[in-house]
Structure 1
Amino acid sequence: MNNIELYDFAIGLLAKRDYPSGELRRRLKREASNEESVEGVMERLLSHHYVDDHRLIERELNKQINKGYGPNRIKQELRQKGLDSLLVEQVIEDLDVDWFELCLKVKEKKFADDAPQDAKEKAKVVRYLQYRGHSMNVIMDVLNG
């Protein structure tokens, strides 16, 4: 594929959904005849803001927070999508989210307002909240508070 065909292929992919730059670069490398054309196309897409990892991270973050996921789960999900770990960390730190309130809301939705009665029930709540990506210190604050 030449540069024009590769660029058209990339635009076709981006017309269907947003791709992280890493994933799009891998897809283009499969189609391209050389590395230089992939880098040229990626540079052009980035300069026109057709590929914007920061925007994609923010949209995914809002979606994951609305699902009640904590920062650990969100980071894992975004890494699996091929997004840069440092950029993800930076955006999460800049985000104004009360992780305690989010964890408390998730706990109350699943287990009502009742405090766990015994160790087995408490372990069940802790496992569930950890699976949802909340940190242990926030979970303990929710259970003790």
Structure 2
Amino acid sequence: MTEQELYDQAVALLAKRDYASGEIRRLLKQHCSDADIVEEAMDRLLSHHYLDDSRLVEKEIRKNLAKHHGISRIKQELRHKSLDPLAIEQALEELDVDWFELASELKTKKFGDDIPKDPKEKAKQIRYLQYRGHTMSVIMEILTP
């Protein structure tokens, strides 16, 4: 496969949705075993600004915050997309998010304002908030009277 064909294939993929540079590199390597051709196509994509991991990190963070996901879940989702861990940490540090308020809104939306009295109900709420990526310290602060 030539560099132009590989580049065209990457552009076709990027036309459908945003990909992280790691994802695109992995997909291109599946179609072409020549690492030099893959790197040439990647360089061309980067020079045309078709790939921008920092923009994708910000977009994914906004999407996850809209879903009321906590910091752990956001990090997991971004790592799953093969994004640079340094870019992830940097973007999360720049955020001005009240994680307590975010978790509290999620708990209220799902379970209401009442603090659970029953241990089973409390455990259920803890599991739910942990699954959504909130830290145990925030969860206990919300669920403790």
TM surpasses 0.5: yes
Question: Is residue 18 of structure 1 aligned with residue 12 of structure 2?
Answer: no
Where do residues 1-145 of structure 1 align in structure 2 (5 Å cutoff)? 1-144=1-144
- TM value normalised by structure 2: 0.94
**Offset, 1:33:** 4.4
Query: Which shows bigger deviation, 56-65 or 76-85?
Result: 76-85
Query: Which shows bigger deviation, 47-56 or 31-40?
Result: 31-40
Q: Which amino acid aligns with 1:117?
A: K
Flag structure 1 segments of 5+ consecutive residues without an equivalent.
none
Flag structure 2 segments of 5+ consecutive residues without an equivalent.
none
- TM value normalised by structure 1: 0.94
**Offset, 1:120:** 2.1
Q: How many angstroms apart in 2 are the aligned matches of 1:96 and 1:55?
A: 17
Q: Is this contact kept in 2: 1:2–1:33, CA < 8 A?
A: no
**Offset, 1:7:** 1.2
**Offset, 1:36:** 0.6
Report the aligned-residue RMSD: 1.2
Count of residues in correspondence between the two structures:
145
**Offset, 1:121:** 1.8
